[in-house]
């Protein structure tokens, strides 16, 4: 698949123990939201620990295009001078969100109830992803959209000049859809209500409250009911972004499968709506501990310690846990390949509409490396080969998907022979320091087919 510059082939060689401290970058979800909410506040929001990956940098650019002033100091502190709710200017260029579904969907929501028009595009992966899941609820506010067949980017959004508040039950478990509706509700008068059957990551709700909006969350028979009072004046914030549990998953899972490893991953955000992988790994028998548990900036945080775990067992992953680990199934399947017995993952249809069809992408690459995988529309299973049992030696396609590329690099670290990926370029969208960080722990991830 093309669309992300010149492909960067990478090879991950089997390696000795991984050891040391892995300081993974800031949380991607919270980073996007910090920039967008900062742009909608009145005054200066200061952000430390922002993920400086391509996805988030594209959102920073977009916020500038909508009129916010966004600057970075040499020490990595970011400043956002917001324009206030309803204050977005009309961009004079097409907004390119690169690879980022979160970026484009949240920004569409944030501009949907202002009397401006904007056109969005992205790379080949993003332009293939469904946007009707966002434009359908936005239409209820009075927002218009015209995209390609099947509701794909490039797409033009005409913001509602006279938005009405909305009550919307999200039909798929998606924090992006929930967040787009809530951000649109900011500039609608009255109460916007979003109902989700299953809890998805709740950073938007938490951060809206932190910025001074009136938001309430209630559990009811219908699910989680989130009520937002429109047209608040958002107060600028000082935000310390916690490190990303979805990025931490890579050094953690690598440590579990490489003999002799002991890796500490400090300061990881462990919001319960994000921590499903770690519960699953522990159920499989992983030697994974939470140290120094604390709260930072309204989010639970801990230092994770992962040690080599030779006796992990395949399990049936509870489907109700899917939303809290949706981005982690690819790397979980790598651990599953190194466990004993079958790991069954059900209720994961959403994996088919991520940066790639992640079930298909992982199944192809795992099979190419000697692992047996079965799949259906909304489930897949991996037959564990025991620790160190994965033959490796195969080449995998990353399909413009950072998490697919990184998962196969982890597969190679514990396999009998090196694992190759056709293009590791997408890793820069979420984990730009992946190669030096893993290298520092003792991994051998090399560029080109070396």
Q: Is residue 357 part of an annotated ligand binding site?
A: no
Q: Which CB, 330 or 414, lies closer to ligand S3P?
A: 330
Nearest to 29 by CA among 44, 60, 50, 58: 50
Residues with a catalytic annotation lie at: 327
DSSP 243: B
Q: Is residue 403 part of an annotated ligand binding site?
A: yes
> What's the min distance (Å) between Cβ of 31 and ligand S3P?
9
Tokens read off for 243: 């490190």
Query: Tokens 């079930």 appear where?
Result: 359
Q: Which CB, 56 or 234, lies closer to ligand S3P?
A: 56
Q: Is residue 274 part of an annotated ligand binding site?
A: no
- Applying CB under 6 A, among 176, 192, 309, 338 the residue interacting with ligand S3P is 176
> What's the min distance (Å) between Cβ of 55 and ligand S3P?
9
Going from the C-alpha of 78 to that of each of 28, 31, 46, 81, 86, the distances in angstroms are: 15, 11, 6, 10, 23
Interacting residues of 382 by C-beta distance below 8 A, sequence separation 6+: 314, 333, 336, 337, 342, 343, 345, 366, 371, 372, 373
Interacting residues of 20 by C-beta distance below 8 A, sequence separation 6+: 263, 264, 440, 441, 442
Q: Is residue 294 part of an annotated ligand binding site?
A: no
Contact flag: residue 261 with ligand S3P (CB under 6 A): no
- Applying CB under 6 A, among 4, 14, 24, 29 the residue interacting with ligand S3P is 29
Contact flag: residue 37 with ligand S3P (CB under 6 A): no
Q: Is residue 321 part of an annotated ligand binding site?
A: no
> What's the min distance (Å) between Cβ of 102 and ligand S3P?
4
Contact flag: residue 59 with ligand S3P (CB under 6 A): no
- Applying CB under 6 A, among 123, 198, 205, 327 the residue interacting with ligand S3P is 327
CA dihedral angle for residue 25, residue 420, residue 352, residue 281, rounded to 10 degrees: -60
- The DSSP bridge partners found for residue 98 are none
Geometric angle at alpha carbon 57, from 90 and 10, rounded to 5°? 140
> What's the min distance (Å) between Cβ of 349 and ligand S3P?
11
Task: Find the part of the chain contacting ligand S3P (CB under 6 A) among 47-55, 136-144, 169-177, 386-394.
Answer: 169-177
Q: Which CB, 61 or 307, lies closer to ligand S3P?
A: 61
> What's the min distance (Å) between Cβ of 191 and ligand S3P?
22
Q: Is residue 327 part of an annotated ligand binding site?
A: yes
From start to end of 84-231, where are the E strands?
95-96, 117-121, 144-148, 152-158, 167-170, 191-196, 215-220, 223-229
Contact flag: residue 350 with ligand S3P (CB under 6 A): yes
Q: Is residue 86 part of an annotated ligand binding site?
A: no
- Applying CB under 6 A, among 31, 45, 59, 102 the residue interacting with ligand S3P is 102
- Applying CB under 6 A, among 11, 31, 45, 179 the residue interacting with ligand S3P is 179
Number of residues that bind ligand S3P (CB under 6 A): 12
From the number of C-beta atoms within 10 Å of its C-beta (0-12, 13-18, 19+), residue 150 rates as exposed
Q: Which CB, 183 or 419, lies closer to ligand S3P?
A: 183
Q: Which CB, 243 or 354, lies closer to ligand S3P?
A: 354
Query: Are the C-beta atoms of residues 308 and 442 closer than 8 Å to each other?
Result: no
Q: Is residue 33 part of an annotated ligand binding site?
A: yes
Side-chain half-sphere CA neighbours of 362 within 13 A = 32
Q: Which CB, 203 or 420, lies closer to ligand S3P?
A: 203
Query: End-to-end alpha-carbon separation of the chain, Å?
Result: 22
Contact flag: residue 337 with ligand S3P (CB under 6 A): no
Q: Is residue 349 part of an annotated ligand binding site?
A: no
- Applying CB under 6 A, among 108, 157, 166, 201 the residue interacting with ligand S3P is 201
From the number of C-beta atoms within 10 Å of its C-beta (0-12, 13-18, 19+), residue 294 rates as exposed
Alpha helices by DSSP H, listed for 10-120, are 28-40, 54-65, 101-111
Going from the C-alpha of 109 to that of each of 33, 50, 106, 152, 355, the distances in angstroms are: 12, 22, 5, 16, 20
- Applying CB under 6 A, among 268, 302, 306, 326 the residue interacting with ligand S3P is 326
Interface positions with ligand S3P (CB under 6 A): 29, 101-102, 174-176, 179, 201, 326-327, 350, 354
């Amino acid at each position: 698949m093309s669309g992300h510059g010149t492909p960067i082939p990478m090879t991950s060689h089997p390696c000795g123990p991984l050891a040391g401290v892995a300081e993974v970058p800031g949380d991607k979800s919270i980073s996007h939201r910090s920039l967008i909410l900062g742009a909608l506040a009145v005054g200066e929001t200061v952000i430390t620990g922002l993920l400086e990956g391509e996805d988030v940098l594209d959102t920073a650019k977009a916020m500038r295009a909508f009129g916010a002033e966004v600057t970075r100091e040499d020490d990595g502190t970011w400043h956002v001078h917001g324009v206030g709710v309803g204050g977005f200017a009309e961009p004079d260029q097409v907004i390119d969100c690169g690879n980022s579904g979160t970026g484009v969907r949240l920004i569409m929501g944030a501009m949907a109830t202002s009397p401006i028009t904007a056109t969005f595009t992205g790379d080949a992966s993003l332009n293939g992803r469904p946007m009707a899941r966002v434009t359908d609820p936005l239409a209820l506010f009075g927002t218009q959209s015209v995209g390609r067949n099947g509701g794909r980017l490039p797409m033009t959004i005409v913001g509602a000049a006279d938005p009405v508040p909305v009550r919307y039950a999200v039909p798929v478990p998606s924090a992006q859809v929930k967040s787009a509706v809530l951000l649109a509700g900011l500039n609608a008068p009255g109460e916007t209500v979003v109902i989700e059957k299953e809890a998805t990551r709740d950073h938007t709700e938490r951060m809206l409250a932190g910025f001074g909006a009136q938001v309430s969350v209630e559990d009811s028979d219908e699910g989680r009911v989130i009520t937002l009072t429109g047209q608040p004046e958002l107060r600028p914030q000082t935000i310390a972004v916690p490190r990303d549990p979805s990025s931490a998953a890579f050094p953690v899972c690598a440590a579990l499968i490489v003999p002799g490893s002991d890796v500490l991953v400090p300061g990881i955000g462990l919001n319960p709506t994000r921590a499903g992988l770690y519960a699953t790994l522990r159920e499989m028998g992983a030697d994974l501990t939470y140290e120094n548990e604390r709260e930072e900036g309204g989010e639970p945080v801990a230092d994770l310690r992962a040690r080599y775990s030779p006796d992990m067992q395949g399990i049936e992953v509870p489907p109700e846990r899917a939303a809290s680990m949706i981005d982690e199934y690819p790397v979980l399947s790598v651990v599953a390949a190194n466990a004993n017995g079958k790991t069954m993952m059900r209720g994961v249809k959403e994996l088919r509409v991520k940066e790639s069809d992640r079930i298909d992408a992982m199944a192809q690459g795992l099979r190419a490396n000697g692992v047996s995988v079965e799949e259906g529309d909304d489930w897949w299973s991996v037959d564990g080969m025991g620790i160190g049992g994965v033959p490796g030696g195969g080449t995998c396609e990353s399909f413009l998907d950072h998490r697919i590329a990184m998962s196969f690099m982890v597969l190679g670290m514990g396999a009998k022979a090196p694992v190759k990926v056709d293009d590791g370029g997408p890793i820069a969208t979420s984990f730009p320091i992946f190669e030096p960080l893993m290298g520092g722990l003792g991994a051998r991830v090399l560029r080109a087919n070396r």
